[in-house]
């Protein structure tokens, strides 16, 4: 954290979240380049932007590079200093995260939010559940995750899609053989392609094998870990080192993480594809919906507010907010108003006070990613 930070000055302010690009094993990121105003946008291995993150990225061969932790600003002024987010939260955790959250989780958001922009289909992969991570790995979090689709590239050869769960599950012995021989056609035959559209939201519980298709730009909301089993070893010309395949363990260990129960189309529509639930009508055509709530997971929550006029967001809760449509102005009780373009994002402190969203375009919406309710400490 910048040593010049006056702790009294961070109150009444939104925390601004500049781009925080992270290296990944797959290519992508052209859309992220475009949003950043890069003169010649191009896909690279910096395919993700970790938003308001205090989670360290795990990349084999890049252990000496500190990747993942966000550097943030408390003012939109061009010369405003940046601050290490983890240190900022540790300096005043109750203000930023709320007393109940801190009592349960300490000065950790217990949440990881990303922009993900794929140029190719991602590796087939699976993540541990929270229970498995705690019981077997000694880790506080697994990696249940959710996808909120923002856009798809217009030059795709087929409609954008994801793979989720085995529709035709192999036996453990068959799956082991498919992985050992890297029979990708055989692995693909276990899945159906699930078409996705902008505005769709999906929950991917820990243990569920999955892969994101090419050309998808989305928000990923997940538990704050980078634990992953990749059971496909090469994508985009990059071959995973062995230590990056099964978390530096063997294939028999990896097989214990899979949920091999069949997930048919009906179950995908009822258990994976999340239907919005109206939470509040604010009048004048403005409303707030729950996209992910307790019915889907207790690991995090996601809401979306559609703005047809000013809407007051109540105080008392921490979230990471992303403008997903149009432009908005955020007014805080005592701080400077902040104008946000589409896909800009901010951290809203729990102690900020009531914030007012003002739409600056005919259609505007704000996605908020919330941590888990502080009921069961990790």
What's the first-to-final CA gap in the chain, in angstroms? Answer: 26
Looking at the predicted structure, is the pLDDT value of residue 361 above 60?
yes
Mean pLDDT of 287-291: 98
Q: Do domains 7-272 and 277-370 have the same CATH topology?
A: yes
- Give me the CATH code for the 277-370 domain, please: 2.60.120.10
What is the residue-wise DSSP string for 221-254? EE-S----EE---EETTEEPPGGGTTTTS-HHHH
Give how far Cα 288 sits from Cα of 13, 115, 302, 310, 376, Å: 23, 22, 11, 13, 27
User: Looking at the predicted structure, is the pLDDT value of residue 3 above 50?
Assistant: no
Average the pLDDT over 14-28 and give the result: 94
Superfamily of domain 7-272 in the CATH hierarchy: Jelly Rolls (2.60.120.10)
Do residues 206 and 144 lie in contact, with contact meaning Cβ atoms separated by under 8 Å?
yes
pLDDT at 315: 87
Average the pLDDT over 1-25 and give the result.
77
Question: Can you state the percent helix, strand and coil of the chain, rounding each to 5?
Answer: 20, 30, 50
SS3 of 268, please?
helix
Instruction: Give me the pLDDT at residue 9, please.
Output: 63
Tell me the pLDDT tens digit for each residue of 106-160. Answer: 999 999 999 999 999 999 999 999 999 999 999 999 999 999 999 999 998 899 9
CB 207 within 8 A of CB 135: no
Report the pLDDT averaged over residues 91-117.
95
Contact of 279 with 255, CB cutoff 8 Å: no
> What's residue 5's pLDDT?
54
Entry pTM: 0.94
pLDDT at 243 over 80: yes
* pLDDT of residue 324 exceeding 80: yes
Q: Residue 174: enclosing H or E segment and its boundaries?
A: helix 172-180
Least confident of 8-12, 43-47, 218-222: 8-12
Q: What pLDDT shows up at residue 238?
A: 92
How confident is the model at residue 1, as a pLDDT? 41
| pLDDT greater than 60 at residue 17 | yes
Sorting pLDDT into bands at 50, 70 and 90, what band is 278? very high
The pLDDT of residue 378 is 39
375 vs 378: CA distance, rounded Å: 10
Q: Domain segments of the chain: what residues? A: 7-272, 277-370
Mean predicted lDDT score pLDDT of the chain: 93
Give the E-state strand segments of 141-212 in sequence order. Answer: 145-152, 161-164, 194-195, 201-204, 210-212
What is the secondary structure of 29-64 as a DSSP string? -HHHHHHTT-SS---BS--EEEET--PPP--TT-TT
* Better-scored residue on pLDDT, 352 or 376: 352
Residue 376 has a pLDDT of: 47
Instruction: Give the pLDDT score at 74.
Output: 87
Q: Which range among 19-28, 59-68, 243-252, 295-304 shows the weakest confidence by mean pLDDT? A: 59-68
Look at residue 377 and tell me whether its pLDDT is greater than 60: no
Q: For residue 192, what pLDDT is reported? A: 97
- Return the percentage of the chain with pLDDT > 90, whole number: 84
What value does the mean pLDDT take over residues 201-213?
98
Are 112 and 56 within 8 A, CB to CB? no
3-state secondary structure of 111: coil
CA angle, 57 then 61 then 66, to 5°: 40
At residue 303, the pLDDT reads: 98
pLDDT band, very low/low/confident/very high, at 193 (cuts 50, 70, 90): very high
Supply the pLDDT for residue 336: 82
């Amino acid at each position: 954290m910048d040593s010049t930070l006056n702790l009294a000055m961070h109150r009444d302010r939104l925390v601004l979240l500049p781009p925080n690009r992270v290296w990944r094993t797959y290519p992508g990121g052209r859309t992220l380049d475009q949003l950043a105003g890069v003169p010649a946008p191009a896909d690279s291995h910096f395919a993700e932007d970790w938003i308001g993150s205090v989670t360290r990225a795990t990349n084999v061969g890049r252990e000496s590079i500190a990747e993942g932790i966000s550097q943030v600003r408390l003012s939109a002024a061009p010369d405003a200093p940046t601050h290490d987010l983890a240190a900022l939260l540790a300096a005043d955790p109750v203000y930023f995260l709320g007393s109940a959250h801190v009592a349960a989780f300490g000065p950790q958001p217990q949440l990881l939010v990303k922009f993900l922009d794929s140029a190719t289909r991602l590796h087939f992969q699976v993540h541990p559940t929270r229970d498995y991570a705690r019981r077997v790995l000694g880790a506080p979090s697994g990696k249940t995750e959710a996808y909120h689709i923002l856009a798809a590239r217009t030059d795709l050869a087929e409609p954008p899609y994801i793979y989720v769960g085995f529709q035709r599950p192999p036996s453990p012995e068959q799956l082991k053989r498919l992985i050992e021989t890297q029979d990708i056609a055989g692995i693909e035959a276990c899945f159906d392609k699930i078409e996705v559209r902008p505005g769709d939201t999906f929950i991917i519980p820990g243990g569920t094998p999955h892969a994101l298709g090419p050309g998808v730009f989305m928000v990923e909301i997940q538990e704050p870990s980078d634990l992953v089993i990749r059971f496909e070893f090469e994508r985009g010309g990059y071959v995973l080192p062995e230590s990056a395949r099964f978390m530096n363990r063997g294939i028999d260990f990896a097989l214990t993480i899979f949920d091999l129960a069949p997930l048919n189309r009906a179950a995908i529509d009822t258990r994976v594809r999340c239907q919005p639930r109206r939470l509040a009508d604010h009048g004048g055509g403005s409303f707030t919906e729950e996209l992910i709530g307790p019915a889907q997971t207790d690991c995090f929550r996601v809401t979306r507010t559609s703005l047809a006029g000013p809407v007051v967001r109540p105080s008392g809760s921490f979230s990471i907010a992303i403008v997903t449509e149009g432009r908005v102005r955020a007014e805080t009780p005592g701080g400077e108003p902040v104008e946000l373009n589409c896909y800009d994002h901010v951290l809203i402190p729990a102690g900020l006070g009531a914030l007012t969203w003002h739409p600056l375009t005919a259609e505007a919406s704000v996605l908020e990613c919330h941590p888990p309710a502080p009921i069961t400490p990790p």
